[in-house]
Amino acid sequence: MTASERSRVEVLAHEECLRLLGEEQVGRVVVIAGGTPQIFPVNYVLDGETIVFRSDPGTKLDAAGRASACFEIDAFDRTDHSGWSVVAHGRLEEIDRYRGPAYDHVRALALEPWADGSKAHWLRLVPFALTGRRLPGVDRDI
Amino acid sequence: MALVDVDRNGLEILDRGDCLRLLACTTLGRIAVTSGGLPVILPVNFLLDDDRILIRTSPGTKLDAATANAVVAFEVDAMDSFSHTGWSVSVTGMSRQLTDPSDLDRVRTLPLARWAPTPGEHVVAISTDVINGRRIPEGHRVPGSA
């Protein structure tokens, strides 16, 4: 990003970040696995201010329970390069049956995985930071 | 219908050639790096140059520091919320700043005007050593009517 582009970036308010998170269905979870960052696209739902998704037992993502993670959604227009992105930083936690009411709560969310597989585990990212940026687009004639 | 490999989740496995073709026709991806021990992700414009991913960074930024001789992840996808179809390509590779003058001169001629690096910016190349792609085929799962 050049200095002139950076100066045009609009910082999104917390409420706007939450609104966008509530509208989207697919995002990307990032965890450090084996010392390297790994990106996993997931479909998710926003539950209050937490991001809930499902994982298959035995996967790298599933093994990342309680790890630091971040989550990203975005939408960009490739013609005028306008768009926005929202990133949540937080900690992953698995919501299993031993969590009692929390387990019943996440299972009742409208969260049908797009892919097959058991997707038997419910994970949620509890953000401690939520940041959003919007790019107003560029004049292609400049 | 041609035989396609599927993973245990029923997703079609895209081979390296498919993945590179999808990267070649996409201009926006997300790079994930480790910064201060924590995962960080951000969207970036990129260009596939042969089999390496090129992005630009500004000196002094976290991204610039985190892409200097590091292992990074890179992802592109396209998902359709209505049909629940889509694809994604994930790359794990080494990132390094381009320093070779002839390489940089050639990169500056690549056909993406807005992308062209201005003086003072770094160009970072990410190798595509490990590349994985998946496609959710149409009709794979019918969204619930409720």
Q: Quick one: average pLDDT of A69-86? A: 90
pTM attached to this predicted model: 0.88
Q: Which helix (H) or strand (E) holds B79?
A: strand B70-80
State residue B7's pLDDT score: 85
* A114 interfacial to chain B (CB closer than 8 Å): yes
Judge whether residue A140 has pLDDT over 50. no
What is the Cβ-side half-sphere exposure of residue B98, based on CA atoms within 13 angstroms?
25
Collect all residues of chain A within an 8 Å Cβ-Cβ radius of residue B144: 112
> What value of ipTM does the predicted structure carry?
0.86
More confident residue, A108 or B39: B39
Identify which of A26, A27, A79, A69 has the alpha carbon closest to the alpha carbon of residue B84: A26
What is the Cβ-side half-sphere exposure of residue B50, based on CA atoms within 13 angstroms?
8
Structure tokens at A61: 């993502």
User: How many angstroms separate the CA of residue B11 from the nearest CA in chain A?
Assistant: 7
State residue A1's pLDDT score: 53
Which chain B residue's Cα is nearest to A74?
B43
Which residues have a Cβ under 8 Å from the Cβ of B23 and sit 6 or more positions away?
Answer: B29, B48, B53, B76, B89, B91, B128
Which chain A residue's Cα is nearest to B144?
A112
State residue B146's pLDDT score: 32
Q: Which of A89-93, A96-100, B43-47 has the lowest mean pLDDT?
A: A96-100
Q: Do A115 and B140 touch (CB under 8 A)?
A: yes
Q: Which residues pair with B136 in a beta bridge?
A: B86
State residue A142's pLDDT score: 37
B66, amino acid identity: A
State residue A92's pLDDT score: 92
Decide: B78 and B87 in contact? Cβ < 8 Å.
yes
Q: List per-residue pLDDT tens for chain B, 146 residues long.
A: 567 888 877 889 999 999 999 999 998 999 999 998 899 999 998 999 999 999 988 888 889 999 999 999 999 999 887 788 899 999 999 999 999 999 988 988 886 545 556 677 889 999 999 999 999 887 765 443 33
Share of chain A above pLDDT 70, in %: 89
